[in-house]
């Protein structure tokens, strides 16, 4: 048996859709959020574990705790270079050597410290990697330049390693445009972002006053 149609007209009772429209709207909103929120969290986690994302700003000369060890910048040297010092013809540049000191934590190995990533950035967000290719043009620092943080090349090409709780000095070399003043530069020490706490944390030392 088919039920007769409900009477239409101004006095007719409201239909099911009209009676439940607020519930339907809420369900739609919750449904959309159920998709969006996990996606947003996954995206944030992906970005944070992919590259350094949380800078810990440190003034020049100040100690900072990071990944079980203590770190500071003890010196910055700058030297103008010829326009072919990177191995090709280029615009005017300077070499910047940043000297760091690390007090290795007792629970950290020098091999773990060597997993660091030495970088330099400026206020425009540009980055440089440690290890410019002109070491031979800086004879006074040649022996100790490198890209590691827990070991360095010593005399007679023997590797020297950081010892627990003993100051260990290492140097990172960068090649930057000459028109960028040192005060605009920041030396950075970053470990793989997925291993730091919080993910993506890294040290950012101001190299200017």
Partner 1 sequence: MRARWIPARLPIRWSLVVASLLVLAVIVWLRRSEPGFADKLAPFVLEGRMEQRVEARNFAVYVKRIKLAEAYLTEGAGFGGKPRRVAGDGIWMSALVEVEPLQEPGYVSAWLRTADGRDYVGAPQDRPKVRGVNLGEQELATGLLASGAYFFDVPADALQGAHLRFFWGMSKPGDMDHIIDIDLQLDPEAVHKLRTEAVPMIDLTP
List 70, 129, 135, 144, residue binding partner 1 (CB under 8 A): 129
User: Judged by CB under 8 A, does residue 196 bind partner 1?
Assistant: no
User: Judged by CB under 8 A, does residue 107 bind partner 1?
Assistant: no
Residue located via tokens 């004879």: 139
List 69, 93, 110, 196, residue binding partner 1 (CB under 8 A): 93
CA distances in angstroms from 87 to 50, 135, 137, 138, 145, listed in the order given: 30, 12, 12, 15, 18
- Cβ at position 18, least distance to partner 1 in Å: 21
Half-sphere exposure of 69 (CA within 13 A, CB side): 31
Instruction: Note whether 132 and 68 are within 8 A (CB).
Output: no
Q: Specify the stretch interacting with partner 1 by CB under 8 A; choose among 58-66, 81-89, 107-115, 151-159.
A: 81-89
Instruction: Note whether 100 and 151 are within 8 A (CB).
Output: no
Torsion over CA: 79, 81, 87, 91 (sign): positive
Instruction: Note whether 201 and 138 are within 8 A (CB).
Output: no
| Residues 4-23, interacting with partner 1 (CB under 8 A) | none
Could you tell me how many residues of this chain bind partner 1 (CB under 8 A)? 21
User: Judged by CB under 8 A, does residue 84 bind partner 1?
Assistant: yes
- Cβ at position 84, least distance to partner 1 in Å: 6
Q: Which residues bind partner 1 (CB under 8 A)?
A: 1-2, 84, 86-91, 93, 125-129, 132-133, 175-177, 180
């Amino acid at each position: 048996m088919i039920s007769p149609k409900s009477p239409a007209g101004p006095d007719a009772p409201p239909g099911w859709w009209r009676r439940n429209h607020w519930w339907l709207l809420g369900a739609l909103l919750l449904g959309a959020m159920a998709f969006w929120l996990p996606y947003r969290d996954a995206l944030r986690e992906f970005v944070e574990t992919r590259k350094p994302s949380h800078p810990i700003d440190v003034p020049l000369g100040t100690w900072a705790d990071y990944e079980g060890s203590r770190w500071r910048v003890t010196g910055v040297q700058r030297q103008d270079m010829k326009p072919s010092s990177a191995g090709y013809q280029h615009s005017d540049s300077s070499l910047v050597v940043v000297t760091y000191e690390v007090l290795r934590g007792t629970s950290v190995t020098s091999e773990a410290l060597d997993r660091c990533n030495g970088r330099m950035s400026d206020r425009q967000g540009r980055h440089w990697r440690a290890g410019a290719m002109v070491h031979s043009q800086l004879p006074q620092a040649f022996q100790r330049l490198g890209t590691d943080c827990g070991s360095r090349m010593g005399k007679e090409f023997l590797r020297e390693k950081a010892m627990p709780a003993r100051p260990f000095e290492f140097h990172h070399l960068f090649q930057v445009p000459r028109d960028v003043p040192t005060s605009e530069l920041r030396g950075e020490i970053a470990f793989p972002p997925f291993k730091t706490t919080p993910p993506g944390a890294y040290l950012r030392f101001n190299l200017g006053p």
